[in-house]
Amino acid sequence: MTKYHSRATVCNQGHKHASKKEANRCDELALMERAGVISLLEQQPEFILQGKFKYRGKAIRKIVYRADFKYWDKEKSRFVVEEVKGFKTAVYRLKKKMLLYILQDSRIEFIEI
């Protein structure tokens, strides 16, 4: 049990997820993919918010946003980045703002479940 009371859970596809809610959503998306509603389902896609760089000789690591799912929605004809959240930390809210800034001119839709 984590400090946010979530339990790591394995979905029916065999993927390990941070919470039961996320595992259930993975099962739903897998069914949607089999039905042909969505395609190109990805687990834990990464988006680079800021690349690595050096500051006065010191290496600074990149900042990455790791979403729960990404898929192509055939009805909307666009990619969807999906986040399943129970508790929104300050770090999550900050990284989400950075991601939305990057995605603002794209056709990628961001949704929270």
Within a domain: residue 22? no
Within a domain: residue 6? no
Within a domain: residue 25? no
**Distance between CA 68 and CA 16 in Å, rounded?**
11
Within a domain: residue 11? no
Compute the C-alpha angle 38/50/53, nearest 5°.
145
**The tokens 């946003």 sit on which residue?**
65
Per-residue pLDDT, averaged over 18-41, amounts to 94
Within a domain: residue 21? no
Within a domain: residue 26? no
Within a domain: residue 14? no
Is residue 73 predicted with pLDDT exceeding 50?
yes
* Partners of 17 in beta bridges: 9
User: Burial of 67 by CB count in 10 Å (0-12 exposed, 13-18 middle, 19+ buried)?
Assistant: buried
- Work out how many domains the chain is built from and give that number: 1
Within a domain: residue 10? no
The range of the structural domain enclosing residue 99 comes to 39-112
Is residue 61 predicted with pLDDT exceeding 70?
yes
Is residue 3 predicted with pLDDT exceeding 60?
no
